[in-house]
Structure 1
Amino acid sequence: MSRSGKLKKVVAFGGGTGLSTLLRGLKCHHIDLTAVVTVADDGGSSGRLLDEYDIPPPGDVRQVLAALSDVEPLIEKMFQYRFSTSEDLKGHSLGNLMLTAMTDITGDFARAIEQMSHVLNIKGKVLPAANQRITLHAELEDGTIVTGESKIPVYGRKIRKVYMSPQEAEPLPETVDTIMAADLLVFGPGSLYTSIMPTILVPAIREAVLACKAKKVYIGNLTTQAGETYRYTASEHVKALYDHAGKPFIDAVLLNGADIDALLGKEQQSGPPWAVINDLENLQQLVPTTIVKDIAMVSGGSVMHDPAKVANWLMDYIDSAVKTD
């Protein structure tokens, strides 16, 4: 909190498990928290609802709402519940259906998110990157064009760039205002091309990110992702962000220093997941501040970011790097 008593304003970008993990840590701190969530998902339950109702995909928003919720664990579990038996409902999560129903009732996806936020008593605010459905495309290294977020990782070839349609998609005015007023913007962790990139591909969001005075932090992924960032180094992740934003914009990068193989109990380089290589010399040419800390943990047999450790570091960074009023 600044000397004026105002809460520090933190905006996090992305979607899926990565953003949800980050938010579970950040919501424990006394800050003004906003999540800007991708609406490029077209697979699974979200894809089916896209086809049937012509709304932005609810899946990533659902996960973020659950992560920020402050309700009884059973209520959150119900919101995340995925049907597995009925042919009509199989694969759908209850939260996706509730967001779809609320969109149909209110006539507006952003309004539906706002109403579900009240129901789940979330700590913070959730804003879609665009209040309409968008389609993500990828141009692969060999020139192949792949259409659809869920299809991009399947090809297993290096991605040259991603772009969206319609290219003139607009965010909510509130989203731009929130970014411009922020003290800290956080990108990642999460799928580089299919979760993080779609948020900054929206022109007005990209312009606000580049223009605002907030400090900007990238939380490096723990491992590379098959079909998206196979064997990418830390600097290659950042370089891809710069290429899509049009210019350098990251002030600091937080990288993992824990031994992923040791955490997973496997022999070094014995197979995937492959840990992201911290090529610090290259990275230091791209960003002013590079921090390496043990921020990984194992949950359910998979390696993931430790929400508390990442959030605690971000709070320390705010105190040291963001000027108070």
Structure 2
Amino acid sequence: MKINKMKIKIGIKRWIVLGGIGIILFSLGLSPIYKYINFTIDEPYIYIIMIIVGTIFLFISLKYGLGTLLGVINKYKYEVDLSKNSVSNMINKKKVLDKGPKVVVLGGGTGLSVLLRGLKNYTSNITAVVTVADDGGGSGILREDLGMLPPGDIRSCILALADTEPTMEKLLQYRFTEGNLKGQSFGNLFIAAMNGIYDNFEFAIKEMANVLAVSGEVLPMTLEDVTLYAKLENGKVIKGESNVSVVNEEIKSKIEKVFLKPQNLNPLVETIDRIREADIVLLGPGSLYTSVIPNLLIKNIVKELENTKATKIYISNVMTQPGETDGYSVSDHVRAIIKHSSEKIIDYVITNNEKLPANVLQKYSEDGATPVLLNEEDNDYLIIKGITVIEDNLIDIKKDYIRHDAIRLSQIITSLSQNHKLPILEFLNSRKDISKS
């Protein structure tokens, strides 16, 4: 049921009036005040009826009035379902989510935002640390024109964690199709405007998150201007995140390593704090060399990951990425991460073992992408490294695009927390309103 501002006001006033009548009736039923206002009734049972009716009115006004108010405050798409103890369910759900595991996710791109949409149904203690090396598309244009950090991946993550109505999300995701703004996202422009107002990118992100009632927080991996480079096995160096896969797809040489300039980039203080407090740290999903690994190249991040008591999980991609991870298996992805960081930052690897529909697989094969599968060599390597493998059906296909099943993936992740076990999952899995995003 869609509710505009006028209807919201009327709805709340209605329950306030009803509550007031209930209080008056209840008071008249109990209080001897009627003697002083010449209000007398010969039949005593009338006062009992007043007490009962007043109590009922007061209960109804509190229940339904609170439901309307919570619906507005919590921005439940301005739809309030007052049946089946929904108010109680909302309160209970919030309490459970607030007690959920503290999760830090390092990554970027579409894979990260997909995961966050599922993960927010299992905990509200989420910190997404997002790469800001993007230099292509609308983000790249804003970065070059305004000298700001690229907002694209951050915008997607904020919207993934937001509890906002569909119209607002469509507005922020809208891309202009004509004129000088062609290809630019309105959400990117919103962040650019906030950055211009406050002259502070970090504060601009926090203000946008506040406006959209985000569950958790979204942080850039650094506040400094950074450029990603990729050195190939043939010795060639590619400059720019957006050029890595495009150029290398033509050259057909494997990536030896990636690095950032300038070096010794500082992370946000909040990022270090969240890693130290975390129950779970996730690497990925996302492009291996351009989304996941760049976060590990920031100063002190690897050291903090080595020292944290959190459960550390790498989420393997479902498909290889042409020009970046051609022919890679699960262990190849892990080897690349360890090469750029440390052997002590992965406890678990979560990977898909679900077969893809032939028609979808054919489409991806034409673009040069293949499934990332676990083989015997992978198992042997991961056992030697002390890494536990979890395989499951993790595919979600929408409009012929392959994505991770965010709900199933989130269930597995939260169950691996050392401090938060199944009671949280049992409650949330019983809720019918959790569906795939």
TM-score normalised by the chain length of structure 2: 0.70
Larger strand percent = 1
Q: What SS does the corresponding residue of 2:300 show, helix, strand or coil?
A: helix
- Give the total of aligned pairs: 321
Match of 1:292 in 2: 391
Give the deviation of 1:272 after TM superposition. Answer: 4.0
Match of 2:316 in 1: 220
Match of 1:165 in 2: 261
Match of 1:57 in 2: 150
Aligned pair in 2 of structure 1 residues 209, 47: CA closer, same or farther (>3 Å)? Answer: same
Q: What SS does the corresponding residue of 1:310 show, helix, strand or coil?
A: helix
Matches within 5 A, 1:78-227: 78-86=171-179, 88-154=180-246, 155-156=248-249, 157-227=253-323
Cα distance in 2, alignment partners of residues 128 and 267 from structure 1: 34
Cα distance in 1, alignment partners of residues 204 and 383 from structure 2: 43
1:18 and 1:190 in contact (8 A); partners too: yes
Aligned pair in 2 of structure 1 residues 267, 91: CA closer, same or farther (>3 Å)? Answer: closer
Give the deviation of 1:47 after TM superposition. Answer: 0.8
Give the deviation of 1:119 after TM superposition. Answer: 1.1
Cα distance in 2, alignment partners of residues 321 and 94 from structure 1: 38
Cα distance in 2, alignment partners of residues 202 and 72 from structure 1: 35
Aligned pair in 2 of structure 1 residues 299, 124: CA closer, same or farther (>3 Å)? Answer: same
Cα distance in 2, alignment partners of residues 68 and 53 from structure 1: 26
Aligned pair in 2 of structure 1 residues 268, 202: CA closer, same or farther (>3 Å)? Answer: closer
Residue deviations 1:8-67, cap 9 Å, x none? 210011111010011011001134111000001000111111111111110110110111
Aligned pair in 2 of structure 1 residues 51, 184: CA closer, same or farther (>3 Å)? Answer: same
Cα distance in 1, alignment partners of residues 398 and 368 from structure 2: 17
2:100 and 2:124 in contact (8 A); partners too: yes
Cα distance in 1, alignment partners of residues 316 and 390 from structure 2: 10
Cα distance in 1, alignment partners of residues 165 and 309 from structure 2: 38
Match of 1:283 in 2: 382
1:263 and 1:303 in contact (8 A); partners too: no
Q: What SS does the corresponding residue of 2:181 show, helix, strand or coil?
A: coil
Which residue, out of 407, 415, 426, partners 1:316? Answer: 415
Give the deviation of 1:277 after TM superposition. Answer: 2.3
Aligned pair in 2 of structure 1 residues 92, 313: CA closer, same or farther (>3 Å)? Answer: same
Aligned pair in 2 of structure 1 residues 265, 130: CA closer, same or farther (>3 Å)? Answer: closer
Give the deviation of 1:187 after TM superposition. Answer: 0.8
Cα distance in 2, alignment partners of residues 30 and 18 from structure 1: 18
Q: What SS does the corresponding residue of 1:139 show, helix, strand or coil?
A: strand
Cα distance in 2, alignment partners of residues 94 and 106 from structure 1: 18
Cα distance in 1, alignment partners of residues 340 and 411 from structure 2: 29
| Pair 1:243 & 2:339 matched | yes
| Identity across matched positions, percent | 41
Residue deviations 1:190-242, cap 9 Å, x none? 10000111111101222212221111001111011001100101001001000
Cα distance in 2, alignment partners of residues 287 and 149 from structure 1: 32
Cα distance in 1, alignment partners of residues 366 and 168 from structure 2: 41
Q: What SS does the corresponding residue of 1:117 show, helix, strand or coil?
A: helix
